[in-house]
Structure 1
């Protein structure tokens, strides 16, 4: 059976986390303090790194940011850099309102040397304006994220797609297309998620990028289960859902027709989602009543969704509540790191400094295969050039995958996506100890997003995954309108 492994103790409450593709270290930030945030006092960021190889956890103060990076918007660059838009609540600006650019122009983290570079106001402002879910008081739309009587954290579910487009799948029930090709920028309605309401702090994950398949789950109309209408006698109550929807992206601009899928067993808000090596979706944490900085009504039993059978099953329970400001990341060794929750010294009982490691059952089945040679170098187009790899044992030719390195915060991970791969067996080496395969990787940069990916193979016997081989995709923009994807080998973090 699957199991929860070692617990790691960090020196801060981990609100945001990402995996450094150059070093394999997990990087986390809180705010300007280890255990609290304050928009009026923040002038730096507290950061901690965990090295999975040595086990060391180190802490440092980042002064270049000039503010506390708390609940930022994150995006992974093709060179492994992480762009942070805003801080002290998401997508720019102070949590209490005011000028969205005031001292919070955005930053870029460089994984090579840990250096931070401030973005200019123009770049940051453009990033903010293109981000759905911003509170726009002048909007009359019933789907606007702006509601003076409610705290609706509409952290946008954004998926880069083909032909320079971005799909906005939620959490508002209204979905949209963003067309970003220079000179042709526009926003286009993409439909609604059937009878789903706004799914604030729910999860959305692209588990099959080739098919454009996305699964959304949970969330609530409001970040808080109560609706603050200014009059306690008139308060209403809004609870999270068990709703699950399948979204399939076609050509940019085409309506997206949601399919209602089997519901979760537990209603959840503030949960996190990770794609497992089987293509299944692991959902962990959350509450049955949304209330930030409290652990009440937490869900301690994760669930796993199988997209092939449209079924859910429960996984082993964990001991620490993972609710508001928690996250989960897939690691290159195929385990799942789960951490965070809290960051309010006035409610320190809900501050969680530790992380836990989840070991899926397939890691306990049999010996693990190893990718002994993975020179993923060369230009290719979809369905053309085959990329060679070698393994130390026979692997399942229908079960390989690429999963993108990502950053996570506030139930949101817009970088995460999986590309299922087909392998072609080409024979053994002269010594008969290495198994050679050829891999087809999509050549569309809207599918194989530029950036760092983890390549996994699964053993033919037992379906046990390898430790990932790290590779990088870049875009040859001069080749044709939207570029050719080129996969390059990168230093493995195994």
Structure 2
């Protein structure tokens, strides 16, 4: 395993990896202050080692000292801290449990740096928030809502601990993030493990786990969901039961109107649709074939194609079918055969038809780029058909690898990583560029530089400048374990065909992790686990995400770059239409990136279209590609980029037929 610090690669022996630990710092001599406290429940009670005593904000005499409430811990010395834990009051009384919150650190009690924010569960378990290591003497925790009830105005904390990383009983040294390698800005805490996510038309992120916030199993008929607001950092919670669908391990696609089409999973035949316009979940007809771990993709006529998925609903025979939202019906496509896309998985058919790499393409076709070494074309007209498209050179089967359409105009797809079998299998570093053209013809495949890290269960995200970020994963595929996790992300350049290692993240992201591009051109990387007690290692459940700021947003000193701006653009444009954009001066190119969805290393919705403008002052004209197989209708983010490759904040717009 290696980590990148200050541009240097430090190699750790297996012995050092095994002995590395997150250790609570000795609190002897520490003190605490707060904006409010009830006599007998002073701030120092959060440091006394007694879980039955607690800090409590003032509640008598009325009126109470209402939220927000804060507590500051003075550690008396400066440490390299990477985590803070909050133990709620005993479970016999839930009043004052911290819900929405933020965590800040400081070396001088004057200049504060935000390291985490978000929303905790309403339960009595200790909440541990992990972040990229910072130097700190002071920790400030601010509660902005109570977990139990938004109407309550109390805050209580029984114990606070602060953690540093120790190797062989010695705290690891602090090295600031390397210049030009991006920045893991903050951690966002959630009330559930985000196993599946989708960008919504209001700029928020829909997420869900399974029937439970931290576990899965059975056919329960309901799902724990949340909506994350990146503007506030807070999340709302909702148990969705009206569609009678446990949406764990589904296929996901975004239709032309930005609705989230969720198929199969634990309730393997079900279809549920989230409509962001009405903030409502809607039941759609059952699929013809029950499925779990299938993939789906939106086609050029707006129908949604799906194939595979023997994880649930029976094994084998999971040929293609298609959903038509106009008629609200599913139709089998007996000619869209699953057999040609099977991998040679050691687990057999239960695993070998999982997580197809699908891309909706021209003339109602779908291209399947993997994870099997064999590629295929699926025609969705009539009863469907299957046409072989050759092999991905010498790659081998690449289950739980990534495929990202980074240039849809040129038909270019980057594939990276994966392993021969779903579990207990060594991952690969392999990377290839697959270029598709006319449907039902063999693509051109070329090898590009291998990644530095072997990855299975990683996530790939295309960025506005055309580079591809690959994050997380592990060298040996082991579901529900964080062993051999890759903490160092890599950035692939289509210009040079090479990978660059970036600053490491703090939290392993392996099985059940997700990553997605946000409208501000940062990357959301979260989740992992969802295994309950996880065979005695519940810390494998990751109720959080880290926000990555790519290098294109940073100056060499780590400060934020000045960014181009888009001040005006139409909210809708037809395929083939000219689009006039009013933007700041100095813009040299634009990019459209389709909204993404992600689960189980699959994101069939994202794709990027580079656009070269004609310029008249601050008025820029670009043309949307005329083929709906390239400019797949739906919601997109439009980015303006300057000559340094710095992107604007993305403007949402809808591409229509």
Fold equivalence (TM over 0.5): yes
1:417 has 2:616 as partner: no
Select 1:58's aligned residue among 236, 240, 258: 236
**CA, structure 1 residues 121+58, in 2 after alignment: closer, same or farther (shift >3 Å)?**
closer
Residue 35, structure 1, aligned to residue 214, structure 2: yes
- Structure 2 counterpart of 1:444: 627
- The RMSD of aligned alpha carbons is 2.2
Q: Which protein has greater RCO, CA pairs closer than 8 Å, 6+ apart?
A: 1
Q: Matched residues in 1 for 2:231 and 2:591: separation?
A: 24
| 2:574–2:624 Cα contact (<8 Å) kept | no
1:131 equivalent in alignment to 2:331:
no
Q: Counterparts in 2 of 1:297-336, with a 5 A limit?
A: 297-336=484-523
TM-score, structure 2 normalization: 0.63
Is 1:457 aligned with 2:647?
no
C-alpha separation in 1, matches of 2:338 and 2:525: 39
Pairwise CA distance, 1:197: 1.4
Q: After the TM superposition, which of the residue ranges 67-76 and 412-421 deviates more from structure 2?
A: 67-76
Flag the 1:15–1:379 CA change in 2: closer, same or farther, 3 A: closer
CA separation of 1:364 and 1:248: change in aligned 2, threshold 3 A:
same
Q: How many residues align?
A: 434
Aligned partner of residue 514 in structure 2, secondary structure? strand
Q: Which residue of structure 1 lines up, in the alignment, with residue 88 of structure 2?
A: none
Secondary structure of the equivalent of 1:113? coil
Q: Within 5 A, what are the aligned runs for 1:266-415? A: 266-347=453-534, 348-365=538-555, 366-375=561-570, 377=572, 379=574, 381=576, 385-396=577-588, 399-415=589-605
Cα distance in 1 for residues equivalent to 2:339 and 2:379: 20
How far apart are 1:244 and its partner, in Å? 0.7
Contact 2:401 2:417 in 1 (8 A): yes
1:83 aligns with 2:261: yes
Question: Given the superposition, is the C-alpha separation of residues 55 and 380 from structure 1 closer, same or farther in structure 2, using an over 3 Å criterion?
Answer: closer
Whether 1:14 aligns to 2:194 is yes
Residue in structure 2 matched with residue 259 of structure 1 by the alignment: 446
Asked if 2 retains the 8 angstrom alpha-carbon contact of 1:106 and 1:124, the reply is no
How far apart are residue 307 of structure 1 and its match? 1.2
Deviates more, 1:206-215 or 1:62-71: 62-71
The answer on whether the counterparts of 1:239 and 1:290 sit within 8 Å (CA) in structure 2 is yes
Deviation at 1:258, TM superposition (A): 1.7
Q: What's the CA shift for 1:124? A: 6.5
> How many angstroms apart in 2 are the aligned matches of 1:468 and 1:141?
40
Q: Compared with structure 1, are the counterparts of its residues 7 and 147 closer, same or farther at alpha carbon in structure 2 (3 Å cutoff)?
A: closer
Residue 432 of structure 2 is matched in structure 1 by 245
Deviation, 1:176, is: 0.6
Task: Give 1 or 2: higher strand fraction.
Answer: 2
* Structure ID, larger Rg: 2
SS class of match (1:112)? coil
Aligned partner (choices 407, 419, 423) of residue 208 of structure 1: 407
Of the three residues 249, 264, 271, the one matched with 1:106 is: 271
Which secondary structure state, in structure 2, belongs to the residue aligned with residue 152 of structure 1?
A: helix
Is 1:176 aligned to 2:351, yes or no? no
Of 341-350 and 416-425, the range deviating more from structure 2:
341-350
| CA distances 1:386-416 after superposition (whole Å, capped 9, x unpaired) | 32111133211xx310001011000000001
Measure the CA separation in 1 of the matches of 2:289 and 2:243: 14
State the match for 1:157 in structure 2: 357
CA distance 1:118–1:389, change in 2 (3 Å): same
Cα displacement string for residues 70-90 of structure 1 (whole angstroms, at most 9, x for unaligned residues): 1210000000001111022xx
TM-score, normalised to structure 1, is 0.83
**Greater alpha carbon shift after TM alignment, 69-78 vs 111-120:** 111-120
**Aligned counterpart, 2:160:** none
Please say if residues 286 and 323 of structure 1, whose CA atoms lie closer than 8 Å, have aligned partners that are also in contact.
Answer: yes
